[in-house]
Amino acid sequence: MLLYEKLSGQIINAAIEVHSILGTGLLEKSYERALIHELSIRGLKCINQVPIKLEYKNIDIGQYFADIIVEDKIILELKCVSTLNNEHMAQTIHYVNTTNYNLALLINFGSKKLEFKRILKTTD
């Protein structure tokens, strides 16, 4: 059984619904807002643009922002590109490995067919 399989399925179905209605060509922020609305309609708790502190050798060197966190369990990283690449994967891997979350979904609204990848926290 996959980690958070049911919740992941709900998120992916919501993203498919957003993609089928809006299509491609919009800015990431539009998909983010629509997906938050769709997840809320489905009764899921989500927070957007969550700051995550970045540290280097125990000093704060800045922060980045998770696009959406669902049910305090899954990070969503949204893209609007023709195809996902290694840089998008690396960014999302970094997000999940430097937080207390064990799963991230990388979702691309920019391709004709919705693209998504499940990314699990790697263990040391």
Cite the DSSP H helix spans in 23-65. Answer: 28-41
Closest-CA residue to 97 (of 71, 59, 123): 123
Answer with the residue of higher pLDDT: 11 or 56: 11
**CATH number for the domain harbouring residue 72:** 3.90.320.10
pLDDT digits (tens, 9 = 90+) for 47-91: 999 998 888 899 999 999 999 999 999 999 999 999 999 999 999
If pLDDT is split at 50, 70 and 90, which confidence band does 32 have?
very high
What pTM value is reported for the model? 0.92
Enclosing domain of residue 11: 5-120
If pLDDT is split at 50, 70 and 90, which confidence band does 124 have?
low
Alpha-carbon distance of 92 to 77, in angstroms, equals 7
Q: How many domains are there within the chain? A: 1
